[in-house]
């Protein structure tokens, strides 16, 4: 199925999670913001792209001869430009750390634009040097080997309390992460851009001393 095309690079400079969340609320999609424990490694980073999903489960050993990273490697090697890796690890109490510097490096060179996980991340000093947006459920040094294993990828998962399907749109900034269902993405973006304009006008008029009541009645945003 052909997917709608979006100018993610420019849109991420024009939009932000709060306005997207408001638009989704108004459309009846009221559970699209990941739980607040999912935070960016760098609040200066913004990400916007298409989800590529992976689901992890707890493990407690590695079978001799098994490659515990098989699905993880396959997903990373198949990434395309504007993809966002989204990994569900049943956070926030998980001990699984599915993400680190080497996966960030590999993903960045495949054209991916970020990673979101409700699991743990490690190698954070090196990831920050890459300027690769990563949103995480915690920080820890443990390898996932023998603790967690990706069971499948590109299937629906839950991450940070939100259902995420492959190709849904993922927007993340300092306020958190929003999941936009792909079938309504064009409508959400159109309404969000209009709301941004109204908020800009509201901000200007408030800065000029107008009463909040009067400005709200004019633009309908708060």
What are the domain boundaries of the chain? 8-181
- State the pLDDT at residue 206: 80
Task: Determine which helix (DSSP H) or strand (DSSP E) holds 2, and give its type and residue range.
Answer: none
Lowest mean pLDDT among 67-71, 81-85, 104-108, 123-127: 67-71
Regarding the domain delimited by 8-181, which CATH topology (the fold level of the hierarchy) does it fall under?
Glucose Oxidase; domain 1 (3.50.30)
- State the pLDDT at residue 12: 95
Question: What's phi and psi for 94, nearest 5 deg?
Answer: -65, 155
Give the span between the Cα atoms of 182 and 3, in whole angstroms.
8
**Residue-by-residue DSSP string for 202-221:** HHHHHHTT--HHHHHHHH--
- State the pLDDT at residue 3: 76
pLDDT band at 47 (very low <50, low <70, confident <90, very high): very high
- Whether 176 shows a pLDDT value over 80: the answer reads yes
The answer for residues whose C-beta is within 8 angstroms of residue 14's C-beta and 6 or more apart is: 193, 196
C-alpha separations of 84 from 27, 62, 217 in Å: 24, 28, 39
pLDDT band at 126 (very low <50, low <70, confident <90, very high): very high
What pLDDT digit, counting tens, does each position of 202-212 carry?
787 788 787 77
Give the span between the Cα atoms of 53 and 38, in whole angstroms.
16
Cβ(40)–Cβ(135) below 8 Å: yes
- Report the predicted TM-score, pTM, of the whole model to 2 decimal places: 0.91
Give the span between the Cα atoms of 36 and 184, in whole angstroms.
24
Give the span between the Cα atoms of 24 and 13, in whole angstroms.
19
- State the pLDDT at residue 200: 75
Token pair 């999609």 in the structure block, residue? 29
Task: Determine which helix (DSSP H) or strand (DSSP E) holds 128, and give its type and residue range.
Answer: helix 124-130
Average pLDDT estimate for 147-171: 97
What pLDDT digit, counting tens, does each position of 80-121 carry?
999 999 999 998 888 899 999 999 999 999 999 999 999 999
- Whether 1 shows a pLDDT value over 60: the answer reads no
What pLDDT digit, counting tens, does each position of 28-41 carry?
999 999 999 999 99
**Residue-by-residue DSSP string for 167-187:** T-EEEEETTEEEEE-GGGHHH
């Amino acid at each position: 199925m052909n997917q709608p095309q979006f100018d993610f690079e420019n849109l991420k400079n024009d939009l932000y999670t709060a306005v997207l969340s408001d638009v989704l609320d108004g459309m009846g999609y009221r559970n699209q913001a990941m739980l607040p424990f999912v935070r960016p490694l760098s609040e200066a980073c913004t990400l916007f792209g298409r989800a590529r999903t992976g689901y992890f489960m707890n493990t407690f050993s590695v079978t001799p001869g098994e490659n515990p990273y098989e699905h993880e490697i396959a997903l990373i090697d198949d990434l395309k430009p504007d993809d966002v890796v989204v990994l569900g690890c049943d956070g926030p109490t998980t001990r699984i750390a599915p993400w680190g510097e080497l996966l960030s490096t590999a993903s960045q060179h495949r054209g991916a634009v970020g990673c979101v996980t409700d699991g743990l991340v490690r190698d954070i000093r090196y990831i920050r040097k890459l300027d690769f947006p990563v949103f995480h459920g915690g920080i820890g040094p443990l390898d996932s080997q023998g603790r967690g294993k990706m069971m499948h990828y590109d299937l629906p998962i839950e991450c940070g309390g939100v259902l995420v399907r492959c190709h849904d749109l993922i927007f993340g900034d300092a306020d958190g992460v929003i999941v936009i269902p792909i079938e309504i993405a064009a409508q959400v973006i159109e309404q969000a851009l209009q709301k941004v304009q109204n908020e800009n006008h509201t901000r200007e008029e408030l800065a000029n001393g107008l009463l909040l009541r009067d400005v709200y009645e004019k633009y309908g945003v708060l």
